[in-house]
Chains A and B, each alone.
Chain A
């Protein structure tokens, strides 16, 4: 092992191979612990079906491990992670999903027991399903911009850097995405395009 901080986990292939050269650079275990929820949520927002989330998250963290040396610790971590999640989603779609929005019905399985005390949980889950169904109407490129800007609260320059696209493209995709997303949300329940 190279010199550096001790690996903060019990040994295994990826973690043990993580080089720690810069004290400011987070290690894979640290990123996993801090950002798994974010990565998972991002993949779900990008349209990965519930049954595939685990595999997709695994792919993301394998890339994180491989490219950790490219990450600039002076920059925020999440846009960098989003870029990896976005490209992973794009590749998975090209590999296996021949067009069309992924089926989301399996997401319902994530609902907790509907005890009286879970009313607000149910409301949250219903909102999530509505948002995700509306996101399903967007092309992946527009969807990514809307997620980063309107859900993650990132700025347009941060989006441009993470997605490696011009700033004007960010704005134009965001405008299109918002219009389509709003129309989908405002569509009466049960009416499909």
Chain B
């Protein structure tokens, strides 16, 4: 399928590769176009279905990576609040239906150790729209469109500078940066993450993505 590009100078090849991951369609244009074509507006931005019998983070329609991140976020949130709390975070009242104890997923956490509240403590669980944005970034990464993922993550940063999923955003960004070979920025961002969130359960993931930050 792919055709060779031999004969082109290295600089041209580098620019062509970078160009291939340029900015995606703006969301506003995507929605307007869908409306003009008579297509359902949410085509490009599918929201997770409203949970009826199970909590939204257990929805099978969420990609595994995002589900993992959301679960990690929930665990970290619980950890930040202390072990006296139940393992299930309180649901945002306007979004999530009442949670039936019988369908609460059992998370594979052997024990929740109370820790001093770090700067990363989450005061509220993540909003669905916040997860939706990260899911789009995750999907872009899965399509090997790392720069597009970075643009989406930048949108997240602007909209939720102190959101509940800041850590997950940073990990995705570090992953995207390593994917496009921007190791210097990836490393700087990883080091900032380790400084800001030293107790995060995502620290091992960051160290795995940027081995230079691994403890000696």
Contacts and interface: CB of A to CB of B under 8 A. Distances in A.
Of A110, A112, A121, which is in contact with the most chain B CB atoms at under 10 Å from its CB? A121
Interface string B8-43: 110110111011111111100110111011111001
Contacts of A15: 37-40
Given A13-B38, A131-B15, A33 B44 contact: yes
Contacts of A9: 39-40, 43
Interface string A122-138: 01110110111000000
Interface in A111-164: 112-113, 115, 117-121, 123-125, 127-128, 130-132, 149-151, 153-156
A185 B11 contact: yes
A159 to B, nearest CB: 9
A127 B23 CA distance: 11
A110 B26 contact: yes
| SS of A interface (majority) | helix
Interface residues of A, number: 54
Given A120-B185, A186-B9, A54 B39 contact: no
B34 to A, nearest CB: 7
Contacts, number: 140
Nearest to B182: A120
Contact of A36 (B18, B44, B155, B173): B44
Nearest to A159: B3
Contacts of B155: 112
Contacts of B12: 181-182, 185
Interface stretch (B104-112, B126-134, B146-154): B146-154
B43 A29 contact: yes
Interface in B153-175: 154-155, 157-158, 173
B34 A153 contact: no
Given A119-B185, A151-B19, A32 B26 contact: no
A178 interface: yes
Contact of A112 (B5, B30, B37, B151): B151
A177 B178 CA distance: 32
Nearest to A110: B23
B9 A54 contact: no
B1 interface: yes
A11 B14 CA distance: 44
Among all A-B residue pairs, the 10 with the closest Cβ atoms: A12-B38, A127-B18, A128-B22, A153-B2, A131-B19, A9-B40, A120-B182, A14-B38, A40-B25, A13-B38
